[in-house]
Every structure is written in structure tokens, then in C-alpha cells.
């Protein structure tokens, strides 16, 4: 039985037996190369649920501040986000039923648009691992594996780290040569080159805060950007303020970010947001040996310390 | 080496924990120890209290350099504030230098209440390092955004 | 009508640049074309579908200084006159229409916004007919079409080998007459334009019925329908920022030492803090109220206040919504409600 059918079966059972109030998953509303989050409460509607490489959203985003019991379709990275949220007391373990999906990677549709030189895709049909895209004046067969999101290319957590039901067998680990390759390239360039790189990518930002809203871990009732007393950061697109917004938002994900890529995918202007968050994740790993969202009750790196933490940078 | 305007002196802000580093600075003064006058001190109860935003906003507002100094590990008046600070600043310093802030603008030190000499030495060192880098420009918030698309 | 060979269009731009501040579509990265200041003709990218950001940003910028002050001197109101008159070259008809909707708000009988008006008065618009509507365009459902000649000063179209220019307003005709090197249109050009227009209109794939929407919305304010549609919305603000007609703003002050300024910045009704009151009460406390408000404002309140729907069918909200919320589907669902 394919995973989509298994998923629907499990969802139906959960709703029929009233073990959950809602199943949060993905459905296909017809837009090419996309799925969209859905909230299923009626067992008769479970056939709306789909599972395919276009299921890119991190649905853990919808779990905070819920008052009901929810089942959620969660890929490896999504389950890590759920672990972090449970550890931070934002959701109660007993109120979430995790339908863990081993995931071979999701498609980054911006890569497809790039490949098609921004061609207007009017239709996309996925069969096995081939996507047939059609525009008014073109048609092309694309391999799913050629257009996976960057975060998926270096994924070390394809299987759910925590779940109530796992839909499908574990996937073998990906042979990841160097997940921090791009970060290291930047680290090895000069300070001027790095400044120019970040100034250029961050100057595209229009301060829409989609990155913040898409991130499951940005759940603060009042974000630092919205504080007036004191006003930590200005709200215009002034480059200094924009850079500060991004580095501090990234800083606030220290030891928590699971690199699901939702931030970067949501950006309408293609700002390289993950170049910041991934750098911090790399430093957390190197300095403290920690990785976010792998275990319940793990200690958050910045709320913890070891007496022999690195301090070679301190005079 | 950046172009330096004539008579420019580095302006450095220092966040000193009141129990150790601030007392150390005081001792330097009482001991008549001479050191560069470029540092403006902000007293905080503990290095662990220093919000990363203090450092970042100082740079935005035009400080050429930032120093944060606290008690040696194991000697924090609040037991472990400096341990948290150590972790926090390790990440922040790496992040700031990664995005292109010149290495040498942001400094951290452990200075105890009895280390008046060390405090003076640290300040002199930081001042000279920042002097060589020239006035801060990269994160500094400049003139108002006018909105006209350029 | 005048024409010029396509490969000579840079000379037109170079001529205009000498006398005007020229803004036009510029390639920002592989996928994004946006309005930018053009300093020489080669910078313009005229083979594009539509800009990411709408033309509103050239009249109602993301951040605009209203006034600034130093010490206790009298506040300096921002210089309201742009240095040189401006030309926006290559705007699409949908964006052009959006400006007339924004005019109702910023240049209406009750309120005149000087910052907006000075830009409007000093700007000449050259629209470029749209030969490549994208899959989420629905401009003709709003009475605009890809080849609409409304709300512009000069209408341009790509005939294939040449661009054709048609003056629409006296101001546009004035500028057009000064541009050197333009040839007269050929007798066959009008027919060609008509055919290209039909071709473009056939590419506008999506249609939505807006006829009774304002009245319907007035009847369904408390309908349980609103409980469902907001659930996936992140409240991220992209739809409002990229919408050509959305115009909500916030006002913030910034100060350093004795200098400061007051700035108007884009705001969004999707943000939770949009209606947060000082008491802590929030009339639109959840996403449900906020999404309902957004649809009500654009498709009912704006009609009640200004007589038109505040939407131009550009599809940016659908294209860029991170979770795939689809405005057209939502309207269809509303239309189908009993």
C-alpha cells in the first residue's frame, strides 16, 4: 500500500475513534507544483490528504496555541521542530499525535522556475519520480531528485525522530558529504567579501516578516521587532536595520532551528536566510556538540552550560 | 586599514559586570594606572545580563568597538551568569564576524576585581585594535531612508 | 501611434533619462524583476511577466520620511518635490489601474496626502501591454485587460519586431512628441495590435465572478465559513505587501541624540498587532477576524466607500503566498455559499 493511502487510513481511524479533533496535513488544490495545508475534522474528508514531494510546509507551525488535540503529518525536520516545541513547553506531548513520514526530500519550486527561465507552469503532473510540467508554449519532464530543496540535499534526519505512528519504513541515510559546504566557503572568504554578500542578499528584504511567520519556532507573542520600549530595531528597509533584524532573528533560533527551510521558501524576494541560521547551527554543533530537536527533555544550548565551554575568544 | 579622519579617536563602549570587572576598572583608577580614555563604561550587574542587542545596537549607533567583561568562570557573583554569557557571546561573535563585521570590533574579557592592571591592559589592547580598523561603517545606521527608489 | 524597432528601445530610454528620473523593470535576480531606477537604457528588462513588487512602491514607498528634526529647531518637512519629474516605463495595466484606486484614498475629497500627490503629479506613466499573462492572472474579471489603455499616459505594446506607442493623455503626448527616432505606425499595426490583444486575453486563464460579491459579503459576516479559511494563513503579510492596492501603513519615530524623524512604513492587517489597542484589547484577535477583514475591505468596504473593488487581478497574492492560499478559490467558495 502506498504511503498516501496508509496516511489516509490512519487519519480516518484517528478521527472516527475521536482520538484527535483535527488532522493537519497537506492537500492538493490544483495549483501546479504545490500542496497546501489542510485541517481535516471529518473522517469522510481524509481522502483530501496527499503525500508527495510538494508537501513542503512545516506543519508544526500550526501546533502552538492550539486548544484541541491535533494529529499532524510531519516529515523528519518537522518532527524535530515538534520536539523543540514540546521541550519549550509550547505544546503538550499528549495533545499532539505525530504521523511521522520518512521523507526523501521536497521539491523547491523556485529551482524549477529557474530551470525553466521563469516559464509559466500551468500544469504539473507527478508520476513516480518524474514531474511533467506544461506551460502554454512548453512541456518538460523533470526529475524530482534534480530539484530538491537545499536543506534536503544535506538532510541527516529523513526519518521522524519522534512520532506516534510512522507511515512507512525508515529511509536509509543520505550520504551527506558536507552539509556546511556553502557556509564554509563564506567563512573562508574575506571579511569584505562576506559583508558584500550579506549586504546584497539582505538588501532584497522588504520586511514582510514571512520568514518569521513561517518558522514554527518564532512563536513569541510579541516579536522584538514590534517592541517600542525599547525599539530594538527600526522597521524600515534601511539596510542596517534589515541586517540587524535578520541576524537577531537567526540568533534567536540558536540551538533551536531544525533547518526545515520554511523561512527561505516563504521569502518572496529570495533572500538567503538559511546562510545565517545554518551558520549558527554549525557553531552550536562545533562549540557545544548540540543539535536541535533530537530528544525530548534535551537541554537548550543557551539555557545550559559546561564548565569547560570554549573560551579562546575571551581575553 | 581604513581611511581615518584627522583627530579621530575610537569610541568604544564597555559593558562591565559590577562585581568583578567594574571593580577592576575602579582599582585601575585608584592605582593611578594610565590607560586609553576611549572607553565609555556601562555597568551591568552581571555579564550574563548583557543582551546581545546591547552589542548590536551599540554598533548600529556608531560605536567603533564593543567590550564586554565579566567575572572569571567559577567566580560569578550570581554563580553562573558568566557561563551563560560565555555561550551566548561565542555564538554572537562568530555570527557578527561571519556577516562581515571586521574582526576586532567586538571583544570579551574576564577581569576580576583585583585585576586593575589587566583591565588597563585590555582597554589599551582593544583601543589599539579598533584604532587600526578605523571608524565603524558596516553596521552603522546612516541617513534616513527617503523612500525614493534608487 | 508611433513605433520604434525593438533593438532601439534603449535609445528611447537614454533620451528620457537625460530629462527625467526613469524607473522601470530591472532584473534583480534569476527569478525577480522589480522596479528600479534606470540610469541607462540597457538596464531595463522589458521581457518579463510582471514585477514582484507592485508599482505602488514608487508612490507609496515601504518607508518614507514625513519630517525630520534637529534639536529644538522647527521640524523640517521632507522635501516634497522630486528633483526631476519621473517616468515609469513598463508598468503593466493592472498596476496602472491600482494607482487610480490608491488615488481614491490618498487624493480624495476628504483627504489629500501631500507625499503621495507630489509623486503622482510629477510622474508620467508608460504602460507596457501584457503579452504574457501568467497562470494566476485574472485582470479581466476586474474590467482591466492585458492590453487595457486606461489609467496611463502612454500605452506601449510589443508588436514582435517593434514597440508601438500610443499617447493617451496630453501629458503623455507631449513627452512622446519629443522623443527622437520614432517612426509612424504602419497601417497594418492597428490590426496586429488587435490580434495580439485577443491572444493575450486568451492567456488569462482564471476568471472569477465578482458581480454580487459586495452584497454577499455583507450578508455573511457571521457565517461559519470564516472559521475554516484562515486556518492555514500564516499572517505573514506577503499578500498585503505585494498587493498593488493594499495601502495600510504605520507611523514610527526614530531618534538618535538630538536628531530624529517620523516615518511612514507599510503595515498589514494580517499582523496580529495591527489592531492591538493600548489597553491590550484586540478587536481582531485571531486570524479569522483578520482574514475576514482583508476580504471584506477589498471586496465590500472599498466598494461602499469608493465605488470600486480594491483588486486588480494581478495574482501576486496567489503566486507568493507561502501556504498556497488562493484568493480566487476563496471568492468562488463565498459565491457558492448558501
Question: Taking CB atoms and an 8 Å limit, are A315 and B145 in contact across chains?
Answer: no
B138 domain-assigned: no
Task: Give the per-residue pLDDT at A126.
Answer: 95
C332 shares a domain with C267: yes
In this prediction, residue A308 has a pLDDT band, given cuts at 50, 70 and 90, of very high
CB-nearest partner of A247 from B89, B99, B122:
B99
- In this predicted structure, the answer to whether residue C229 has a pLDDT above a threshold of 70 is yes
Task: Give the nearest partner residue to C28 out of A136, A204, A231, using CB atoms.
Answer: A204
**What pLDDT does C123 receive?**
95
Residues of B in contact with A286 (CB under 8 A): none
Rounded mean pLDDT, A253-261: 96
Strand ranges for A80-159 from DSSP E: 96-101, 123-127, 130-134, 139-143
| CB nearest to B99's CB, from A198, A236, A310 | A198
Domain assignment present for C208: no
Which candidate from C62, C205, C322 shows the least CB-CB separation from A206? Answer: C62
Q: What is the pLDDT of residue C31?
A: 85
Interchain proximity A191–B80, CB inside 8 Å: no
Distance of alpha carbon A132 from alpha carbon A116, whole angstroms: 12
Least confident range from A139-148, C34-43, C66-75, C262-271: namely: C66-75
Contact C63 B145 (CB under 8 A): yes
Please tell me the distance from the alpha carbon of residue C323 to that of residue B17, in angstroms, as a whole number: 47
Asked if residue C237 belongs to a domain, the reply is yes
**Which residue does chain B place closest to A281, by CA atoms?**
B91
Per-residue model confidence (pLDDT) at position B146: 38
> Do both C166 and C267 map to the same domain?
no
Domains identified in chain C, total number? 2
Per CB-CB distance under 8 Å, the chain A contacts of B140 are 240
Mean pLDDT, chain A, integer: 95
Phi, psi of C65 (to 5 degrees): -75, 125
Across the interface, whether the CB atoms of A61 and C234 are under 8 A apart is answered yes
pLDDT-derived band at A177 (thresholds 50, 70, 90) equals confident
pLDDT score of B6? 80
C-alpha distances out from residue A257 to A86, A249, A260, A301, C113, Å: 14, 11, 8, 12, 44
> Which has the closest alpha carbon to A157: A262, A283, A294, A3?
A294
Determine whether the interchain pair A113/C62 forms a contact, defined as Cβ–Cβ distance below 8 Å.
no
Percent of chain A predicted with pLDDT > 70: 100
Domain contains B79: yes
pLDDT at A256: 96
Same domain, residue pair C128 and C8: yes
Query: How much is the ipTM here?
Result: 0.94
Q: Distance between CA A132 and CA A129 in Å, rounded?
A: 10
Nearest CA in chain B to A235: B145
Range of the domain at C53: 2-203
CA distance C231 to A60: 13
Do C181 and C43 share a structural domain?
yes
pLDDT of residue B148: 33
CA-based angle A248:A250:A252, to the nearest 5?
70
Q: Which of C168, C203, C238 is the last residue of a domain?
A: C203
Confidence of residue C184 (pLDDT cuts 50, 70, 90): very high
Closest chain B residue to the Cα of A239, Cα to Cα: B141
Cα C68 to the chain's mean position, in Å? Answer: 28
What's the pLDDT score for residue C68? 82
> Nearest by CB to C261, which of B144, B148, B150?
B144
Chain A residues touching residue B127 (CB < 8 angstroms): none
Task: Tell me the C-alpha distance between C310 and A131, whole Å.
Answer: 37
d(CA A60, CA A219): 11
pLDDT score recorded for residue B149: 30
Q: How far is A179 from chain B (nearest CA, A)?
A: 17
Contact B91 A187 (CB under 8 A): no
Query: Is residue B141 assigned to a domain?
Result: no
Number of structural domains, chain B? 1
CB contact under 8 Å between A315 and B110, yes or no, is yes
From A89's Cα to the closest Cα of chain C, the distance in A is 21
What average pLDDT does the segment C22-51 reach? 92
Do the Cβ atoms of C78 and B146 come within 8 Å? yes
In a domain, C43, yes or no: yes
Contacts of C37 in chain B (CB under 8 A): 149-150
Does residue A275 register a pLDDT over 90? yes
Shortest Cα distance from C275 to chain A (angstroms)? 13
> Domain ends where: C153, C182, C203?
C203
String of DSSP letters for A202-244? HTT-----HHHHH-TT---SS-GGG--TT--S--S--HHHHHH
Contact C232 A214 (CB under 8 A): no
Confirm or reject contact between C23 and chain B (CB < 8 A): yes
- Is the CB of C57 inside 8 Å of chain B's CB atoms? yes
- Whether residues A244 and B99 touch (CB distance < 8 A) is answered with no
Percent of chain A at pLDDT above 90?
93
Answer yes or no: do C36 and C164 share one domain: yes
Tell me the pLDDT tens digit for each residue of A72-126.
999 999 999 999 999 999 999 999 999 999 999 999 999 999 999 888 999 999 9
CB contacts, 8 Å: A313 with chain B: 89-90, 93, 108
**C257 assigned to some structural domain:** yes
pLDDT, residue C79, reads 67
Do C69 and C10 belong together in one domain?
Answer: yes
At C65, the pLDDT band (50, 70, 90 cuts) reads confident
Assess B143–C contact: CB distance below 8 Å, yes or no: no
Cβ-Cβ contacts under 8 Å, B140 against chain C = none
| Residue B31 belongs to a domain | yes
Confidence of residue C62 (pLDDT cuts 50, 70, 90): very high
Is 90 exceeded by the pLDDT of residue C258? no
What predicted TM-score, i.e. pTM, was given to this entire model? 0.94
Predicted local confidence at residue C72, as pLDDT: 72
Are C194 and C270 in the same domain?
A: no
pLDDT confidence tier of residue C260, bands split at 50, 70 and 90: confident
Domain extent for B86:
12-133
My answer on whether C92 and C117 are in the same domain is yes
Q: How many CB pairs under 8 A join B and C?
A: 30
* Residue range C217-228, pLDDT digits in tens: 999 999 999 999
pLDDT > 70 fraction of chain C, expressed in percent and rounded: 97
Chain centroid to CA B146: how far?
32
Of C161, C180, C203, the domain-final residue:
C203
- Give the closest of C203, C236, C326 to A210, CB-based: C236
**Tens of pLDDT along A2-21?**
999 999 999 999 999 999 99
Which candidate, C103, C105, C109, places its Cα nearest to that of C121? C103
Domain assignment of residue C110, yes or no: yes
Please give the pLDDT value at position C102: 97
The CATH number of the domain holding residue B110 is 3.40.50
* Least Cα separation, residue A184 to chain C (angstroms): 23
Beta strands in B30-83 (DSSP E): 39-44, 65-70
* Spatial separation of the C-alpha atoms in residues C139 and C311, rounded to whole Å: 9
Could you give phi then psi for residue A238, rounded to 5 degrees? -50, 135
CB B40 within 8 A of CB B14: yes
- Kindly state the average pLDDT of the residues C253-271: 88
Residue B142 within any structural domain of the chain: no
Task: Please indicate, yes or no, whether residues C250 and C318 belong to a single structural domain of this protein.
Answer: yes
- A210-249 pLDDT per residue, tens: 999 999 999 998 999 999 888 999 999 999 999 999 999 9
Q: Does B140 map to a domain?
A: no
Given an 8 Å threshold on Cβ–Cβ distance, is A283 in contact with B145?
A: no
Residue C63: inside a domain? yes
Which of C49, C232, C265 has the CB atom closest to A120's CB atom?
C49
All residue ranges of chain B with pLDDT < 50 are 1, 145-150
The reply to whether C118 falls in a domain is yes
Taking CA–CA distances from A223, the nearest residue in chain C reads C273
| Percentages of chain C per state (helix, strand, coil), in multiples of 5 | 40, 20, 40
Give pLDDT, residue B22.
97
Strand-strand pairing, A130-134 and A123-127? antiparallel
Chains touching A (3+ CB pairs < 8 Å): B, C
pLDDT of residue B53: 97
Buried-state track B99-112, b at ≥16 Cβ within 10 A, e below 16: bbbbebbbbbbbbb
Nearest chain A residue (CA) to B140: A240
Amino acid at each position: 500500500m502506498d504511503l498516501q493511502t496508509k496516511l489516509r487510513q490512519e487519519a480516518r481511524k484517528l478521527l472516527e475513534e475521536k482520538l484527535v479533533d483535527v488532522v493537519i496535513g497537506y492537500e492538493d488544490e490544483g495549483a501546479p507544483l504545490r500542496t497546501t495545508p489542510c485541517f481535516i475534522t471529518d473522517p469522510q474528508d481524509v481522502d483530501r490528504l496527499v503525500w508527495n514531494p510538494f508537501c513542503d510546509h512545516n506543519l508544526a507551525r500550526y501546533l502552538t496555541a492550539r486548544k484541541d488535540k491535533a494529529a499532524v503529518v510531519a516529515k523528519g525536520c518537522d518532527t524535530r521542530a515538534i520536539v523543540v516545541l514540546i521541550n519549550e513547553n509550547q505544546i503538550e506531548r499528549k495533545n499532539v499525535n505525530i504521523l511521522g513520514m520518512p521523507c526523501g526530500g521536497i521539491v523547491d519550486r523556485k529551482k524549477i522556475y529557474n530551470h525553466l527561465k521563469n516559464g509559466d507552469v500551468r500544469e504539473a503532473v507527478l508520476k513516480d519520480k518524474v514531474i511533467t510540467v506544461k506551460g502554454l508554449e512548453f512541456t518538460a519532464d523533470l526529475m524530482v531528485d534534480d530539484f530538491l530543496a537545499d536543506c534536503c540535499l544535506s538532510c541527516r534526519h529523513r526519518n521522524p525522530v519522534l512520532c506516534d505512528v510512522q507511515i512507512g519504513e525508515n529511509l536509509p541515510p543520505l550520504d551527506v558529504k558536507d552539509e556546511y559546504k556553502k557556509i564554509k566557503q563564506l567563512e573562508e572568504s574575506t571579511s569584505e567579501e562576506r559583508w558584500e554578500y550579506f549586504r546584497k542578499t539582505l538588501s532584497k528584504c522588504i520586511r514582510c516578516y514571512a520568514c518569521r511567520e513561517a518558522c514554527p519556532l518564532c512563536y513569541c507573542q510579541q516579536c522584538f521587532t514590534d517592541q517600542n520600549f525599547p525599539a530594538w530595531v527600526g522597521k524600515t528597509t534601511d539596510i542596517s536595520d534589515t541586517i540587524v533584524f535578520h541576524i537577531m532573528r537567526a540568533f534567536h533560533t540558536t540551538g533551536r532551528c531544525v533547518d526545515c527551510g520554511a523561512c527561505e521558501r516563504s521569502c518572496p524576494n529570495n533572500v538567503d536566510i538559511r546562510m545565517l541560521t545554518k551558520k549558527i547551527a554549525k557553531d552550536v554543533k562545533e562549540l557545544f556538540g548540540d543539535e536541535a530537536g533530537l530528544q525530548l527533555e534535551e537541554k537548550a544550548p543557551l539555557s545550559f552550560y559546561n564548565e569547560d565551554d570554549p573560551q579562546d575568544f575571551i581575553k | 586599514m581604513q581611511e581615518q579622519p584627522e583627530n579621530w579617536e575610537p569610541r568604544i563602549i564597555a559593558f562591565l559586570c559590577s562585581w568583578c570587572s567594574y571593580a577592576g576598572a575602579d582599582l585601575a583608577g585608584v592605582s593611578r594606572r594610565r590607560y586609553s580614555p576611549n572607553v565609555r563604561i556601562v555597568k551591568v550587574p552581571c555579564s550574563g545580563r548583557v543582551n546581545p542587542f546591547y552589542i548590536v545596537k551599540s554598533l548600529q549607533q556608531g560605536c567603533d568597538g564593543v567590550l564586554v567583561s565579566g567575572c572569571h568562570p567559577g567566580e560569578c557573583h550570581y554563580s553562573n551568569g558568566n557561563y551563560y554569557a560565555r555561550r551566548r557571546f561565542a555564538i554572537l561573535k562568530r555570527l557578527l564576524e561571519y556577516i562581515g563585521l571586521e574582526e576586532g570590533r567586538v571583544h570579551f574579557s574576564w577581569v576580576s576585581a583585583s585585576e586593575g592592571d589587566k583591565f588597563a591592559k585590555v582597554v589599551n589592547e582593544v583601543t589599539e585594535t579598533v584604532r587600526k580598523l578605523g571608524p565603524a561603517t558596516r553596521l552603522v545606521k546612516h541617513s534616513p531612508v527617503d523612500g525614493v527608489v534608487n | 501611434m508611433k513605433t520604434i524597432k525593438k533593438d532601439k528601445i534603449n535609445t528611447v530610454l537614454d533620451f528620457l533619462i537625460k530629462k527625467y528620473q526613469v524607473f522601470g523593470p530591472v532584473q534583480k535576480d534569476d527569478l525577480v524583476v522589480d522596479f528600479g531606477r534606470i540610469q541607462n537604457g540597457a538596464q531595463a528588462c522589458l521581457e518579463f511577466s510582471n514585477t514582484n513588487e507592485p508599482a505602488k512602491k514608487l508612490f507609496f514607498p515601504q518607508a518614507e520620511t514625513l519630517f525630520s528634526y534637529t534639536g529644538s529647531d522647527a521640524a523640517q518637512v521632507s522635501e516634497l518635490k522630486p528633483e526631476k519629474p519621473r517616468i515609469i516605463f513598463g508598468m503593466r495595466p493592472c498596476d496602472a489601474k491600482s494607482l487610480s484606486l490608491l488615488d481614491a484614498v490618498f487624493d480624495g475629497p476628504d483627504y489629500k496626502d501631500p507625499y503621495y500627490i507630489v509623486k503622482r503629479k510629477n510622474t508620467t506613466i508608460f504602460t507596457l501591454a501584457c503579452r504574457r499573462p501568467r497562470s494566476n492572472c485574472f485582470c479581466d474579471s476586474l474590467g482591466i485587460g492585458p492590453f487595457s489603455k486606461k489609467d496611463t499616459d502612454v500605452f506601449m505594446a510589443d508588436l514582435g519586431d517593434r514597440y508601438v506607442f500610443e499617447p493617451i493623455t496630453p501629458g503623455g503626448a507631449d513627452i512622446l512628441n519629443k522623443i527622437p527616432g520614432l517612426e509612424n505606425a504602419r497601417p497594418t499595426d492597428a490590426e496586429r495590435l488587435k490580434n495580439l490583444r485577443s491572444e493575450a486575453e486568451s492567456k488569462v486563464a482564471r476568471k472569477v465572478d465578482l458581480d454580487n460579491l459586495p452584497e454577499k459579503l455583507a450578508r455573511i459576516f457571521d457565517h461559519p465559513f470564516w472559521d475554516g479559511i484562515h486556518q492555514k494563513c500564516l499572517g505573514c503579510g506577503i499578500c498585503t505587501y505585494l498587493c498593488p492596492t493594499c495601502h495600510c501603513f504605520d507611523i514610527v519615530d526614530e531618534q538618535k541624540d538630538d536628531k530624529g524623524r517620523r516615518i511612514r512604513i507599510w503595515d498589514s492587517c494580517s499582523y496580529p498587532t495591527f489592531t492591538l489597542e493600548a489597553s491590550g484589547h484586540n478587536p481582531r484577535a485571531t486570524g479569522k477576524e483578520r482574514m475576514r477583514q482583508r476580504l471584506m475591505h477589498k471586496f465590500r468596504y472599498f466598494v461602499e466607500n469608493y465605488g470600486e473593488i480594491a483588486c486588480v487581478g494581478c495574482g501576486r497574492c496567489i503566486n507568493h503566498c507561502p501556504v498556497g492560499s488562493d484568493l480566487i478559490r476563496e471568492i468562488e467558495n463565498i459565491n457558492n455559499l448558501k
